[in-house]
Structure 1
Amino acid sequence: MNQSNNSGIIEQFVNKVMGVKNGNHERSSGTSIATTQELDIKAVLVYKLGTIIQITVMILVLLGMEKLVMLIDNNSDFPRWFSTLLTGLFFALLSIRSRIFSILDNTRSRQTYDQIIRPRWAPPRLAFPIVWMIIAILRVISSVLVWQQMNHQFLVLPLILFVVHLALGDTWNTIFTVERRLGAAVPVVLLGPWLSAVVVTAIYWQTNPVAGMILSFSCVWLTVAAVLVFRIWQLNGSEPLYPLKLTPVEK
Protein backbone atom coordinates (compact mmCIF):
# COMPACT_ATOMS: atom_id res chain seq x y z
CA MET A 1 0.00 0.00 0.00
CA ASN A 2 2.80 2.41 0.91
CA GLN A 3 4.56 1.68 -2.36
CA SER A 4 1.35 2.40 -4.27
CA ASN A 5 0.86 5.66 -2.38
CA ASN A 6 4.46 6.69 -3.03
CA SER A 7 4.03 5.97 -6.74
CA GLY A 8 0.88 8.08 -6.79
CA ILE A 9 2.62 10.97 -5.05
CA ILE A 10 5.55 10.79 -7.46
CA GLU A 11 3.18 10.70 -10.43
CA GLN A 12 1.24 13.73 -9.16
CA PHE A 13 4.44 15.67 -8.53
CA VAL A 14 5.94 14.89 -11.94
CA ASN A 15 2.71 15.65 -13.77
CA LYS A 16 2.31 18.95 -11.91
CA VAL A 17 5.86 20.07 -12.70
CA MET A 18 5.55 19.11 -16.37
CA GLY A 19 1.99 20.42 -16.69
CA VAL A 20 0.42 17.08 -17.63
CA LYS A 21 -3.33 16.81 -17.12
CA ASN A 22 -4.97 13.58 -16.01
CA GLY A 23 -7.12 12.87 -19.01
CA ASN A 24 -10.15 15.09 -18.44
CA HIS A 25 -9.12 17.40 -21.26
CA GLU A 26 -11.27 17.00 -24.36
CA ARG A 27 -9.26 17.32 -27.52
CA SER A 28 -10.27 20.10 -29.88
CA SER A 29 -11.38 17.68 -32.60
CA GLY A 30 -13.37 15.53 -30.17
CA THR A 31 -16.66 16.29 -31.96
CA SER A 32 -15.21 15.94 -35.45
CA ILE A 33 -14.30 12.98 -37.61
CA ALA A 34 -12.33 12.51 -40.82
CA THR A 35 -14.83 11.45 -43.48
CA THR A 36 -12.57 12.02 -46.51
CA GLN A 37 -8.91 11.72 -47.43
CA GLU A 38 -8.81 15.45 -48.22
CA LEU A 39 -5.89 17.51 -46.96
CA ASP A 40 -6.86 20.03 -44.29
CA ILE A 41 -5.10 23.06 -45.74
CA LYS A 42 -6.41 25.31 -42.98
CA ALA A 43 -4.81 23.10 -40.32
CA VAL A 44 -1.47 23.16 -42.15
CA LEU A 45 -1.55 26.97 -42.31
CA VAL A 46 -2.49 27.20 -38.62
CA TYR A 47 0.41 24.90 -37.64
CA LYS A 48 2.89 26.92 -39.71
CA LEU A 49 1.61 30.30 -38.48
CA GLY A 50 1.53 29.14 -34.87
CA THR A 51 5.08 27.81 -35.06
CA ILE A 52 6.43 30.95 -36.74
CA ILE A 53 4.75 33.22 -34.18
CA GLN A 54 6.08 31.14 -31.28
CA ILE A 55 9.62 31.21 -32.66
CA THR A 56 9.42 34.98 -33.23
CA VAL A 57 8.15 35.63 -29.69
CA MET A 58 10.85 33.44 -28.13
CA ILE A 59 13.58 35.15 -30.14
CA LEU A 60 12.29 38.51 -28.87
CA VAL A 61 12.39 37.06 -25.34
CA LEU A 62 16.03 36.04 -25.97
CA LEU A 63 16.73 39.63 -26.98
CA GLY A 64 15.10 40.90 -23.80
CA MET A 65 17.11 38.49 -21.67
CA GLU A 66 20.34 39.59 -23.35
CA LYS A 67 19.69 43.22 -22.53
CA LEU A 68 18.62 42.38 -18.97
CA VAL A 69 21.70 40.25 -18.29
CA MET A 70 23.90 42.94 -19.80
CA LEU A 71 22.52 45.45 -17.31
CA ILE A 72 23.05 43.01 -14.44
CA ASP A 73 26.63 42.21 -15.48
CA ASN A 74 27.44 45.92 -15.71
CA ASN A 75 25.93 46.67 -12.31
CA SER A 76 28.34 46.12 -9.44
CA ASP A 77 25.46 45.86 -6.96
CA PHE A 78 24.71 42.32 -8.20
CA PRO A 79 27.04 39.39 -7.39
CA ARG A 80 28.74 37.77 -10.37
CA TRP A 81 26.75 34.57 -10.04
CA PHE A 82 23.36 36.31 -10.18
CA SER A 83 23.16 36.51 -13.98
CA THR A 84 24.03 32.82 -14.23
CA LEU A 85 21.27 31.94 -11.77
CA LEU A 86 18.77 34.09 -13.68
CA THR A 87 19.83 32.51 -16.97
CA GLY A 88 19.42 29.01 -15.54
CA LEU A 89 15.89 29.85 -14.35
CA PHE A 90 15.09 31.31 -17.75
CA PHE A 91 16.21 28.19 -19.60
CA ALA A 92 14.27 26.08 -17.08
CA LEU A 93 11.12 28.03 -17.97
CA LEU A 94 11.78 27.54 -21.68
CA SER A 95 12.52 23.84 -21.29
CA ILE A 96 9.47 23.02 -19.17
CA ARG A 97 6.85 25.52 -20.35
CA SER A 98 7.87 26.77 -23.81
CA ARG A 99 4.24 26.28 -24.83
CA ILE A 100 3.24 29.46 -22.98
CA PHE A 101 4.64 31.30 -26.01
CA SER A 102 2.47 29.33 -28.48
CA ILE A 103 -0.91 30.38 -29.83
CA LEU A 104 -1.79 26.72 -30.48
CA ASP A 105 -3.53 24.46 -27.99
CA ASN A 106 -0.60 22.70 -26.34
CA THR A 107 -2.38 21.02 -23.44
CA ARG A 108 -0.32 18.14 -22.07
CA SER A 109 -2.69 15.25 -21.44
CA ARG A 110 -2.47 11.48 -21.06
CA GLN A 111 -5.78 10.97 -22.83
CA THR A 112 -4.50 10.25 -26.33
CA TYR A 113 -1.77 7.89 -25.13
CA ASP A 114 -4.23 6.03 -22.88
CA GLN A 115 -6.87 5.54 -25.59
CA ILE A 116 -4.85 4.50 -28.64
CA ILE A 117 -3.41 1.06 -29.44
CA ARG A 118 0.26 0.91 -28.44
CA PRO A 119 3.01 -1.64 -29.12
CA ARG A 120 3.88 -4.01 -26.30
CA TRP A 121 7.25 -2.36 -25.74
CA ALA A 122 5.71 1.12 -25.32
CA PRO A 123 6.89 2.84 -22.12
CA PRO A 124 4.33 3.34 -19.33
CA ARG A 125 2.64 6.73 -19.36
CA LEU A 126 4.50 7.94 -16.25
CA ALA A 127 7.84 7.41 -18.04
CA PHE A 128 7.20 10.32 -20.41
CA PRO A 129 6.96 13.21 -17.93
CA ILE A 130 9.85 11.75 -15.91
CA VAL A 131 12.10 11.46 -18.95
CA TRP A 132 11.08 14.91 -20.17
CA MET A 133 11.87 16.32 -16.73
CA ILE A 134 15.35 14.81 -16.95
CA ILE A 135 15.77 16.17 -20.48
CA ALA A 136 14.63 19.61 -19.27
CA ILE A 137 17.39 19.59 -16.64
CA LEU A 138 19.95 18.54 -19.27
CA ARG A 139 18.72 21.29 -21.57
CA VAL A 140 19.18 23.88 -18.84
CA ILE A 141 22.73 22.76 -18.04
CA SER A 142 23.82 22.52 -21.67
CA SER A 143 22.22 25.85 -22.63
CA VAL A 144 23.86 27.67 -19.72
CA LEU A 145 27.22 26.23 -20.79
CA VAL A 146 26.64 27.48 -24.35
CA TRP A 147 25.54 30.88 -23.04
CA GLN A 148 28.74 31.13 -20.99
CA GLN A 149 30.82 30.05 -23.97
CA MET A 150 29.16 32.78 -26.07
CA ASN A 151 30.09 35.52 -23.56
CA HIS A 152 26.62 35.80 -22.01
CA GLN A 153 24.92 36.43 -25.36
CA PHE A 154 21.44 35.03 -26.08
CA LEU A 155 20.93 36.07 -29.70
CA VAL A 156 23.39 33.51 -31.05
CA LEU A 157 22.82 30.68 -33.51
CA PRO A 158 22.91 27.77 -31.01
CA LEU A 159 20.30 29.32 -28.71
CA ILE A 160 18.11 30.50 -31.58
CA LEU A 161 18.10 26.96 -32.97
CA PHE A 162 17.27 25.73 -29.48
CA VAL A 163 14.06 27.79 -29.30
CA VAL A 164 13.18 26.67 -32.85
CA HIS A 165 13.50 23.07 -31.61
CA LEU A 166 11.20 23.79 -28.67
CA ALA A 167 8.57 25.41 -30.90
CA LEU A 168 8.60 22.47 -33.31
CA GLY A 169 8.10 20.11 -30.39
CA ASP A 170 5.12 22.12 -29.16
CA THR A 171 3.51 22.07 -32.61
CA TRP A 172 3.97 18.31 -32.78
CA ASN A 173 2.27 18.01 -29.39
CA THR A 174 -0.72 19.90 -30.77
CA ILE A 175 -0.94 17.56 -33.74
CA PHE A 176 -0.52 14.29 -31.82
CA THR A 177 -1.69 14.79 -28.23
CA VAL A 178 -4.38 17.44 -28.63
CA GLU A 179 -5.84 16.76 -32.09
CA ARG A 180 -4.84 13.08 -32.33
CA ARG A 181 -3.78 13.32 -35.98
CA LEU A 182 -1.70 10.14 -35.89
CA GLY A 183 -0.79 10.24 -39.58
CA ALA A 184 0.43 13.83 -39.67
CA ALA A 185 2.38 13.23 -36.45
CA VAL A 186 4.76 10.79 -38.18
CA PRO A 187 6.52 13.12 -40.67
CA VAL A 188 6.26 16.06 -38.25
CA VAL A 189 8.07 14.21 -35.44
CA LEU A 190 10.88 13.28 -37.82
CA LEU A 191 11.27 16.63 -39.58
CA GLY A 192 10.48 18.65 -36.45
CA PRO A 193 11.51 17.57 -32.94
CA TRP A 194 13.88 14.74 -33.95
CA LEU A 195 15.81 16.46 -36.76
CA SER A 196 16.01 19.77 -34.91
CA ALA A 197 17.30 17.96 -31.79
CA VAL A 198 20.11 16.44 -33.84
CA VAL A 199 20.96 19.84 -35.34
CA VAL A 200 20.90 21.63 -31.96
CA THR A 201 23.02 18.91 -30.35
CA ALA A 202 25.59 19.17 -33.16
CA ILE A 203 25.74 22.98 -32.86
CA TYR A 204 26.02 22.78 -29.08
CA TRP A 205 28.81 20.23 -29.46
CA GLN A 206 30.74 22.56 -31.77
CA THR A 207 30.28 25.42 -29.32
CA ASN A 208 31.01 23.46 -26.16
CA PRO A 209 31.65 19.69 -26.40
CA VAL A 210 30.42 19.09 -22.85
CA ALA A 211 27.13 20.83 -23.66
CA GLY A 212 26.73 18.69 -26.77
CA MET A 213 27.37 15.49 -24.85
CA ILE A 214 24.85 16.47 -22.19
CA LEU A 215 22.17 17.29 -24.76
CA SER A 216 22.77 14.13 -26.81
CA PHE A 217 20.54 12.13 -24.47
CA SER A 218 17.54 14.00 -25.88
CA CYS A 219 18.40 12.66 -29.35
CA VAL A 220 18.36 9.10 -28.02
CA TRP A 221 14.96 9.58 -26.40
CA LEU A 222 13.48 11.35 -29.43
CA THR A 223 14.67 8.49 -31.64
CA VAL A 224 12.75 6.07 -29.43
CA ALA A 225 9.75 8.44 -29.46
CA ALA A 226 9.82 8.71 -33.26
CA VAL A 227 9.81 4.91 -33.64
CA LEU A 228 6.96 4.71 -31.13
CA VAL A 229 4.93 7.32 -33.05
CA PHE A 230 5.47 5.34 -36.26
CA ARG A 231 4.33 2.05 -34.67
CA ILE A 232 1.29 3.75 -33.11
CA TRP A 233 0.37 5.07 -36.55
CA GLN A 234 0.65 1.54 -38.00
CA LEU A 235 -1.39 -0.06 -35.22
CA ASN A 236 -4.18 2.51 -35.38
CA GLY A 237 -5.16 2.33 -39.03
CA SER A 238 -2.26 3.92 -40.94
CA GLU A 239 -4.18 7.02 -41.92
CA PRO A 240 -2.57 9.31 -44.56
CA LEU A 241 0.59 11.09 -43.43
CA TYR A 242 -1.01 14.53 -43.53
CA PRO A 243 -3.79 16.26 -41.55
CA LEU A 244 -7.16 15.08 -42.80
CA LYS A 245 -10.07 17.46 -43.21
CA LEU A 246 -12.47 16.94 -40.31
CA THR A 247 -16.25 17.09 -40.46
CA PRO A 248 -18.14 18.27 -37.36
CA VAL A 249 -20.67 15.80 -35.99
CA GLU A 250 -23.38 16.21 -33.39
CA LYS A 251 -22.76 14.80 -29.93
Structure 2
Amino acid sequence: MNEFNNLGIIEKFINTVMRVKTGNQQRYPNTSIATIQELDIRVVLVYTLGTLLQIVVMIFVLLVMEKLVILIDNNSSFPSWFSTLFTGLLFAVLSIRSRFFSLLDNTRSRQTYDQVIRPRWSPPPLVFPIVWMVIAVLRVIYSVLVWQQMNHQFLVLPLILFVVHLALGDTWNTIFTVERRLGAAVPVVILGPWLSAVVVTVIYWQTNPVAGMTLSFSCVWLTVAAVLVFRIWQLNGSEPLYPLKLTPVEK
Protein backbone atom coordinates (compact mmCIF):
# COMPACT_ATOMS: atom_id res chain seq x y z
CA MET A 1 0.00 0.00 0.00
CA ASN A 2 2.84 2.38 0.86
CA GLU A 3 4.43 1.67 -2.51
CA PHE A 4 1.24 2.68 -4.31
CA ASN A 5 0.97 5.83 -2.19
CA ASN A 6 4.58 6.75 -2.93
CA LEU A 7 4.04 6.14 -6.64
CA GLY A 8 0.96 8.38 -6.55
CA ILE A 9 2.91 11.15 -4.82
CA ILE A 10 5.73 10.89 -7.36
CA GLU A 11 3.28 10.91 -10.27
CA LYS A 12 1.48 13.96 -8.88
CA PHE A 13 4.78 15.79 -8.38
CA ILE A 14 6.01 15.03 -11.91
CA ASN A 15 2.70 15.98 -13.51
CA THR A 16 2.69 19.23 -11.52
CA VAL A 17 6.22 20.16 -12.59
CA MET A 18 5.57 19.30 -16.23
CA ARG A 19 2.02 20.74 -16.10
CA VAL A 20 0.39 17.55 -17.38
CA LYS A 21 -3.37 17.39 -16.97
CA THR A 22 -4.74 13.95 -16.15
CA GLY A 23 -8.47 14.67 -15.93
CA ASN A 24 -10.89 13.42 -18.59
CA GLN A 25 -12.16 16.81 -19.69
CA GLN A 26 -14.31 16.83 -22.81
CA ARG A 27 -13.22 19.36 -25.39
CA TYR A 28 -16.68 19.62 -26.98
CA PRO A 29 -19.21 18.93 -24.19
CA ASN A 30 -22.34 19.53 -26.28
CA THR A 31 -21.27 18.33 -29.70
CA SER A 32 -19.74 15.36 -31.43
CA ILE A 33 -17.13 15.75 -34.16
CA ALA A 34 -17.63 14.40 -37.67
CA THR A 35 -14.68 14.57 -40.04
CA ILE A 36 -14.76 14.93 -43.80
CA GLN A 37 -11.86 13.83 -46.01
CA GLU A 38 -10.83 17.36 -46.93
CA LEU A 39 -7.66 19.26 -46.12
CA ASP A 40 -8.23 22.07 -43.65
CA ILE A 41 -6.13 24.81 -45.25
CA ARG A 42 -7.06 27.33 -42.58
CA VAL A 43 -5.69 25.20 -39.75
CA VAL A 44 -2.48 24.54 -41.73
CA LEU A 45 -1.98 28.31 -41.93
CA VAL A 46 -2.71 28.61 -38.21
CA TYR A 47 -0.09 25.97 -37.36
CA THR A 48 2.46 27.59 -39.66
CA LEU A 49 1.94 31.15 -38.47
CA GLY A 50 1.74 30.06 -34.83
CA THR A 51 5.05 28.21 -35.10
CA LEU A 52 6.80 31.05 -36.93
CA LEU A 53 5.58 33.64 -34.41
CA GLN A 54 6.75 31.49 -31.51
CA ILE A 55 10.20 31.18 -33.12
CA VAL A 56 10.39 34.96 -33.65
CA VAL A 57 9.38 35.67 -30.03
CA MET A 58 11.93 33.22 -28.61
CA ILE A 59 14.70 34.64 -30.83
CA PHE A 60 13.78 38.08 -29.49
CA VAL A 61 14.13 36.65 -25.97
CA LEU A 62 17.61 35.42 -26.90
CA LEU A 63 18.47 38.93 -28.14
CA VAL A 64 17.30 40.51 -24.87
CA MET A 65 19.24 37.94 -22.87
CA GLU A 66 22.40 38.65 -24.85
CA LYS A 67 22.13 42.36 -24.01
CA LEU A 68 21.54 41.59 -20.33
CA VAL A 69 24.46 39.18 -20.12
CA ILE A 70 26.77 41.74 -21.73
CA LEU A 71 25.77 44.20 -19.01
CA ILE A 72 26.35 41.57 -16.32
CA ASP A 73 29.75 40.55 -17.70
CA ASN A 74 30.84 44.19 -17.92
CA ASN A 75 29.73 44.95 -14.37
CA SER A 76 32.47 44.11 -11.89
CA SER A 77 29.99 44.03 -8.99
CA PHE A 78 28.65 40.66 -10.23
CA PRO A 79 30.68 37.49 -9.61
CA SER A 80 32.05 35.73 -12.70
CA TRP A 81 29.61 32.83 -12.37
CA PHE A 82 26.47 34.98 -12.18
CA SER A 83 25.95 35.27 -15.94
CA THR A 84 26.21 31.47 -16.26
CA LEU A 85 23.56 30.99 -13.58
CA PHE A 86 21.36 33.61 -15.21
CA THR A 87 21.74 31.92 -18.59
CA GLY A 88 20.94 28.51 -17.11
CA LEU A 89 17.69 29.87 -15.68
CA LEU A 90 16.74 31.25 -19.10
CA PHE A 91 17.33 27.92 -20.80
CA ALA A 92 15.36 26.20 -18.03
CA VAL A 93 12.37 28.45 -18.79
CA LEU A 94 12.71 27.90 -22.54
CA SER A 95 13.09 24.14 -22.17
CA ILE A 96 10.27 23.51 -19.66
CA ARG A 97 7.89 26.35 -20.57
CA SER A 98 8.53 27.00 -24.26
CA ARG A 99 4.79 26.72 -24.88
CA PHE A 100 4.39 29.97 -22.90
CA PHE A 101 5.63 31.76 -26.04
CA SER A 102 3.17 29.98 -28.37
CA LEU A 103 -0.17 31.35 -29.56
CA LEU A 104 -1.45 27.81 -30.09
CA ASP A 105 -3.20 25.73 -27.44
CA ASN A 106 -0.34 23.70 -25.97
CA THR A 107 -2.08 22.12 -23.01
CA ARG A 108 -0.17 19.09 -21.74
CA SER A 109 -2.71 16.33 -21.18
CA ARG A 110 -2.86 12.54 -21.05
CA GLN A 111 -6.40 12.42 -22.40
CA THR A 112 -5.54 11.53 -26.01
CA TYR A 113 -2.89 8.97 -25.05
CA ASP A 114 -5.22 7.36 -22.50
CA GLN A 115 -8.13 7.03 -24.95
CA VAL A 116 -6.50 5.84 -28.18
CA ILE A 117 -5.65 2.23 -29.01
CA ARG A 118 -1.92 1.72 -28.34
CA PRO A 119 0.52 -1.06 -29.20
CA ARG A 120 1.38 -3.52 -26.45
CA TRP A 121 4.91 -2.19 -26.12
CA SER A 122 3.79 1.41 -25.55
CA PRO A 123 5.19 2.97 -22.34
CA PRO A 124 2.79 3.75 -19.47
CA PRO A 125 1.62 7.39 -19.36
CA LEU A 126 3.82 8.28 -16.37
CA VAL A 127 6.97 7.51 -18.36
CA PHE A 128 6.48 10.48 -20.68
CA PRO A 129 6.64 13.36 -18.15
CA ILE A 130 9.56 11.63 -16.39
CA VAL A 131 11.57 11.31 -19.60
CA TRP A 132 10.73 14.82 -20.75
CA MET A 133 11.75 16.21 -17.36
CA VAL A 134 15.13 14.47 -17.70
CA ILE A 135 15.49 15.77 -21.27
CA ALA A 136 14.60 19.28 -20.08
CA VAL A 137 17.43 19.19 -17.53
CA LEU A 138 19.85 17.89 -20.17
CA ARG A 139 18.75 20.64 -22.54
CA VAL A 140 19.72 23.26 -19.97
CA ILE A 141 23.15 21.70 -19.49
CA TYR A 142 24.05 21.31 -23.16
CA SER A 143 22.68 24.74 -24.09
CA VAL A 144 24.83 26.39 -21.42
CA LEU A 145 27.85 24.46 -22.71
CA VAL A 146 27.20 25.69 -26.26
CA TRP A 147 26.62 29.24 -25.03
CA GLN A 148 29.98 29.16 -23.25
CA GLN A 149 31.65 27.74 -26.34
CA MET A 150 30.17 30.59 -28.42
CA ASN A 151 31.70 33.28 -26.16
CA HIS A 152 28.47 34.08 -24.32
CA GLN A 153 26.56 34.84 -27.51
CA PHE A 154 22.89 33.91 -27.88
CA LEU A 155 22.11 34.84 -31.49
CA VAL A 156 24.16 32.00 -32.95
CA LEU A 157 23.07 29.18 -35.24
CA PRO A 158 23.05 26.35 -32.63
CA LEU A 159 20.83 28.23 -30.16
CA ILE A 160 18.53 29.57 -32.88
CA LEU A 161 18.05 26.01 -34.17
CA PHE A 162 17.39 24.95 -30.58
CA VAL A 163 14.43 27.32 -30.18
CA VAL A 164 13.15 26.22 -33.61
CA HIS A 165 13.20 22.64 -32.31
CA LEU A 166 11.24 23.67 -29.21
CA ALA A 167 8.61 25.50 -31.28
CA LEU A 168 8.13 22.53 -33.63
CA GLY A 169 7.65 20.25 -30.63
CA ASP A 170 4.97 22.54 -29.20
CA THR A 171 3.12 22.63 -32.52
CA TRP A 172 3.18 18.84 -32.69
CA ASN A 173 1.74 18.72 -29.17
CA THR A 174 -1.15 20.91 -30.32
CA ILE A 175 -1.85 18.63 -33.28
CA PHE A 176 -1.64 15.30 -31.44
CA THR A 177 -2.44 15.91 -27.78
CA VAL A 178 -4.86 18.83 -27.93
CA GLU A 179 -6.66 18.39 -31.27
CA ARG A 180 -6.16 14.63 -31.62
CA ARG A 181 -5.29 14.75 -35.31
CA LEU A 182 -3.64 11.33 -35.41
CA GLY A 183 -2.98 11.41 -39.16
CA ALA A 184 -1.41 14.87 -39.33
CA ALA A 185 0.67 14.06 -36.25
CA VAL A 186 2.68 11.40 -38.14
CA PRO A 187 4.49 13.57 -40.73
CA VAL A 188 4.71 16.47 -38.29
CA VAL A 189 6.50 14.44 -35.59
CA ILE A 190 9.00 13.17 -38.18
CA LEU A 191 9.63 16.43 -40.04
CA GLY A 192 9.28 18.56 -36.89
CA PRO A 193 10.57 17.42 -33.47
CA TRP A 194 12.52 14.37 -34.70
CA LEU A 195 14.31 15.90 -37.70
CA SER A 196 15.04 19.16 -35.89
CA ALA A 197 16.46 17.21 -32.92
CA VAL A 198 18.84 15.39 -35.29
CA VAL A 199 19.92 18.68 -36.90
CA VAL A 200 20.45 20.38 -33.53
CA THR A 201 22.41 17.37 -32.27
CA VAL A 202 24.76 17.51 -35.28
CA ILE A 203 25.30 21.27 -34.90
CA TYR A 204 25.80 21.00 -31.14
CA TRP A 205 28.24 18.12 -31.64
CA GLN A 206 30.30 20.26 -34.01
CA THR A 207 30.28 23.10 -31.48
CA ASN A 208 30.82 21.06 -28.33
CA PRO A 209 31.06 17.24 -28.51
CA VAL A 210 29.88 16.81 -24.90
CA ALA A 211 26.75 18.84 -25.64
CA GLY A 212 26.13 16.78 -28.77
CA MET A 213 26.46 13.50 -26.89
CA THR A 214 24.07 14.77 -24.21
CA LEU A 215 21.51 15.83 -26.80
CA SER A 216 21.66 12.48 -28.59
CA PHE A 217 19.55 10.99 -25.78
CA SER A 218 16.58 13.10 -26.88
CA CYS A 219 17.04 11.82 -30.46
CA VAL A 220 16.72 8.24 -29.23
CA TRP A 221 13.58 9.06 -27.29
CA LEU A 222 12.03 11.00 -30.17
CA THR A 223 12.71 8.05 -32.47
CA VAL A 224 10.71 5.83 -30.09
CA ALA A 225 8.00 8.50 -29.88
CA ALA A 226 7.79 8.81 -33.70
CA VAL A 227 7.39 5.04 -34.09
CA LEU A 228 4.74 5.05 -31.36
CA VAL A 229 2.81 7.87 -33.06
CA PHE A 230 2.94 5.94 -36.34
CA ARG A 231 1.61 2.75 -34.70
CA ILE A 232 -1.15 4.65 -32.90
CA TRP A 233 -2.18 6.12 -36.25
CA GLN A 234 -2.29 2.62 -37.80
CA LEU A 235 -4.28 1.14 -34.92
CA ASN A 236 -6.87 3.92 -34.83
CA GLY A 237 -8.17 3.99 -38.39
CA SER A 238 -5.24 5.34 -40.44
CA GLU A 239 -6.91 8.65 -41.27
CA PRO A 240 -5.27 10.78 -44.00
CA LEU A 241 -1.85 12.19 -43.13
CA TYR A 242 -3.05 15.78 -43.17
CA PRO A 243 -5.36 17.87 -40.94
CA LEU A 244 -8.99 17.19 -41.78
CA LYS A 245 -11.80 19.68 -41.52
CA LEU A 246 -13.75 19.17 -38.31
CA THR A 247 -17.52 19.68 -38.41
CA PRO A 248 -19.35 20.12 -35.08
CA VAL A 249 -22.57 18.10 -35.07
CA GLU A 250 -25.19 18.73 -32.40
CA LYS A 251 -26.01 15.68 -30.32
State whether TM-score is above 0.5. Answer: yes
1:121 aligns with 2:121: yes
**Superposed CA RMSD:** 1.3
Match of 1:182 in 2: 182
Question: Are the equivalent residues in 2 in contact too, given 1:15–1:21 (CA < 8 A)?
Answer: yes
Q: Which runs of 5+ in 1 are unaligned?
A: none
Match of 1:108 in 2: 108
Match of 1:97 in 2: 97
* Bigger shift: residues 73-82 or 24-33: 24-33
Please give the alpha-carbon distance, in whole angstroms, between the structure 2 residues aligned to 1:41 and 1:54. 20
Match of 1:45 in 2: 45
Question: Are the equivalent residues in 2 in contact too, given 1:172–1:189 (CA < 8 A)?
Answer: yes
Question: Are the equivalent residues in 2 in contact too, given 1:23–1:111 (CA < 8 A)?
Answer: yes
Match of 2:16 in 1: 16
Q: Which amino acid aligns with 1:175?
A: I
- Give the direction of change, closer, same or farther, for the CA distance of 1:158–1:43 in structure 2 (3 Å limit): same
Q: CA deviation at 1:35?
A: 3.1
Q: Which runs of 5+ in 2 are unaligned?
A: none
Question: Are the equivalent residues in 1 in contact too, given 2:34–2:249 (CA < 8 A)?
Answer: no
Match of 1:56 in 2: 56
Q: CA deviation at 1:29?
A: 10
- State the percentage of identical aligned residues: 84
Match of 1:160 in 2: 160
1:197 aligns with 2:197: yes
Q: What secondary structure, in the 3-state scheme, does the structure 2 residue paired with 1:249 have?
A: strand
Q: CA deviation at 1:32?
A: 5.1
Match of 1:73 in 2: 73
Please give the alpha-carbon distance, in whole angstroms, between the structure 2 residues aligned to 1:242 and 1:28. 22
Please give the alpha-carbon distance, in whole angstroms, between the structure 1 residues aligned to 2:224 and 2:28. 27
Please give the alpha-carbon distance, in whole angstroms, between the structure 2 residues aligned to 1:208 and 1:168. 23
Question: Are the equivalent residues in 1 in contact too, given 2:30–2:250 (CA < 8 A)?
Answer: no
Question: Are the equivalent residues in 2 in contact too, given 1:28–1:178 (CA < 8 A)?
Answer: no
Match of 2:170 in 1: 170
TM-score of the superposition, structure 1-length normalised? 0.97
Please give the alpha-carbon distance, in whole angstroms, between the structure 1 residues aligned to 2:92 and 2:223. 23
Please give the alpha-carbon distance, in whole angstroms, between the structure 1 residues aligned to 2:31 and 2:85. 46
TM-score of the superposition, structure 2-length normalised? 0.97
1:212-249 deviation digits (Å, cap 9, x = unpaired): 00010000000000000000000000000000001012
Q: What secondary structure, in the 3-state scheme, does the structure 1 residue paired with 2:123 have?
A: coil
1:161-207 deviation digits (Å, cap 9, x = unpaired): 00000000000000000000000000000000000000000000000
Please give the alpha-carbon distance, in whole angstroms, between the structure 1 residues aligned to 2:222 and 2:119. 17
Please give the alpha-carbon distance, in whole angstroms, between the structure 2 residues aligned to 1:29 and 1:77. 57
Q: Which amino acid aligns with 2:113?
A: Y
Please give the alpha-carbon distance, in whole angstroms, between the structure 1 residues aligned to 2:246 and 2:138. 39
- Give the direction of change, closer, same or farther, for the CA distance of 1:250–1:139 in structure 2 (3 Å limit): same
Q: What secondary structure, in the 3-state scheme, does the structure 1 residue paired with 2:23 have?
A: coil
- Give the direction of change, closer, same or farther, for the CA distance of 1:62–1:210 in structure 2 (3 Å limit): same
Q: What secondary structure, in the 3-state scheme, does the structure 1 residue paired with 2:37 have?
A: strand
Q: What secondary structure, in the 3-state scheme, does the structure 2 residue paired with 1:95 have?
A: helix
Q: CA deviation at 1:147?
A: 0.2
Q: CA deviation at 1:24?
A: 3.9
* Bigger shift: residues 61-70 or 15-24: 15-24
1:142 aligns with 2:137: no
Please give the alpha-carbon distance, in whole angstroms, between the structure 1 residues aligned to 2:31 and 2:180. 12
* Bigger shift: residues 30-39 or 152-161: 30-39
Match of 2:214 in 1: 214
Total equivalences in the alignment: 251
Question: Are the equivalent residues in 2 in contact too, given 1:29–1:179 (CA < 8 A)?
Answer: no
